[in-house]
Structure 1
């Protein structure tokens, strides 16, 4: 993702044009996610995982072969669809295989590896550089490595033997505390990754400091996932989501003025806050796993990924409005988003809804 943005920037494209590229991936997710459970039922989970891995590898080859803006836009859509299949099926598999009393910690391990991957991926470019075939070959090697465990134990993957009786969007009304956690996290994560460097510049900090802020946010995500997973195995997950939302809200308000007081204080708060809001994804996913099984769980996972993608698409432009209004407006806008989510979760708990 970082590689494509850099190559387009080096070719002289505008920020708006570069931003359309990841949007193509997000739109592909919204288009394909609803069909993943049906395809898995017909083809089998292992076969569909292999097909998605192959499509991703071919997409990387196409990126390298056709370095053209419009071609890359189409390829990014195919690549995004392949990644969507991998996300939906892997999370369905993990959620199904996890024992109920250890689901939180297992999903905490999963999201820790996911956060670590996001953190490590861009550093590969420091080794390969951004020019030539080397970065594409390195990414291809990762997908080949990912195919090994699918080949070895993919036959043990849970099968989807019947169609889900619940429509995809019905999961939103049935379990909004869980599904909206994905939307909120998708919006905050993408906005933080993309706008924290801009936030640094608007507050008279250097571009290097802005990159450091992104790393601190990601570090919190890595550190907090396993402890929060352990907590989610011991406590009501809806109440834990409410605590996360409230803590994230208070943290965002504190961050809005902490930078003016002391940079070390701000940096420390950012790590903790990144871990708290990052835990929304794992706890929400565990909550879904405790509610659904079989084809219903596959459908719920697809809905979860779709809402995460909606957050990714809508988060940066909406939360960026706050940053345009005031230097500290990014965190105030995030606080408003978390306040809305907190209200929904509190309402569900107060009315005894699951």
Structure 2
């Protein structure tokens, strides 16, 4: 367990925000660009989704050792290592366009991305006060959403050459790496006494806060599934590549609009109520997307609404877990949330790809919407004594 001595300085927070924007851009760009390449090569949606899931296999591997590595390396070194692991494959993707090599490269990117997220999000959680946690973690989520929205715009760079999107992303990540090396303090978390064995800490955090930790799984499923499968869905129903590139960012843009308002509402009215309402509304919006067909503006509005309502799920879920768990269990809960995110991210491209392949392109949205609807309704079953103790009256 960690007790942070890091001061929440504005500069450090802005650096963390920059790192998360870069991480969002990397995922927002790589998933659809590589999916388009594989679709154009005639790779089946199922195999395409399986290859995309490799990124989250790497993320899962990092999740298993993230807490220990952070204790050994500290925040700065873990972030630097994560950036380097993301950058190296960017040079190799266009050099070796082989699906087997891409599988390995995506695993490496997943390890790096997971390291960045774990260090940054735990830092933010540890230095924010309960009454402001919703808005600060929402700003963190907005930063990722911003990068996630910018990423798919890189599809347009394919017009200048297949390698151009990767090289531009590499240059952006290199600039962020230089900023981290020069400005971020090299601080290690201080270890606190272990009152629980590791496996008991993870079990306890899930038992006490399962409803707060499930949003990470849903967010991972949505994010990876949409970025990997929506390009295939769009091509199958008749959209042009340029239209797909224009539509996909609006999932993240919706999150940008509503992240902070939902975070502030959760500070005022409670995280669970906001998560339940957002889950139901987002689920309905997703299920309506197939009905829009190739009507560009209607699809855009539905993606904007759905993305706005569920785009804050990961951050609000973590804030809710921080409200209802003892602080000593927060690092373990962060690992569980990362684990759930990884599982959802592996499920999303694979299940969505199989649904497109065996049922219909629109079935991926029906499944996604049902998952969010079920989550919203299930909230009535979750009760924790004192769970509203930090909510402002």
Instruction: Note if 1:146 corresponds to 2:146.
Output: no
What 5-or-longer segments of structure 1 have no aligned partner? none
Q: In structure 1, which of residues 268, 284, 289 is the aligned counterpart of residue 322 of structure 2?
A: 289
CA distance in 2, matches of 1:7, 1:264: 26
Cross-structure match for 2:367: 333
- Structure 1 pair 220/157, CA: closer, same or farther in 2 (3 Å)? farther
CA distance in 2, matches of 1:202, 1:57: 32
Cross-structure match for 2:218: 184
| Residue correspondences, number | 352
What 5-or-longer segments of structure 2 have no aligned partner? 1-29, 388-393
Q: In structure 1, which of residues 224, 229, 235 is the aligned counterpart of residue 263 of structure 2?
A: 229
| Partner secondary structure for residue 136 of structure 2 | helix
Cross-structure match for 1:117: 147
RMSD: 3.3
1:96 and 1:289 in contact (8 A); partners too: no
Pairs within 5 Å for 1:46-195 = 46-63=76-93, 66-124=96-154, 126-127=156-157, 131=161, 134-155=164-185, 159-162=189-192, 165=196, 166-167=198-199, 168=202, 170-195=204-229
- Structure 1 pair 120/281, CA: closer, same or farther in 2 (3 Å)? same
Question: Deviation at 1:41?
Answer: 0.8
2:289 and 2:365 in contact (8 A); partners too: yes
Instruction: Note if 1:280 corresponds to 2:310.
Output: no
Deviations along 1:95-142, whole A, 9 cap, x unmatched?
112232222222222222212212212334534757475444322222
1:40 and 1:160 in contact (8 A); partners too: no
CA distance in 2, matches of 1:273, 1:83: 25
1:24 and 1:77 in contact (8 A); partners too: yes
2:138 and 2:260 in contact (8 A); partners too: yes
CA distance in 1, matches of 2:145, 2:170: 20
CA distance in 1, matches of 2:40, 2:238: 25
TM-score by length of 2: 0.76
Q: Which moved more, 1:88-97 or 1:41-50?
A: 41-50
CA distance in 1, matches of 2:339, 2:363: 27
Question: Deviation at 1:22?
Answer: 2.3
- Structure 1 pair 41/204, CA: closer, same or farther in 2 (3 Å)? closer
CA distance in 1, matches of 2:193, 2:178: 29
Instruction: Note if 1:306 corresponds to 2:339.
Output: yes
Question: Deviation at 1:91?
Answer: 0.6
TM-score by length of 1: 0.83
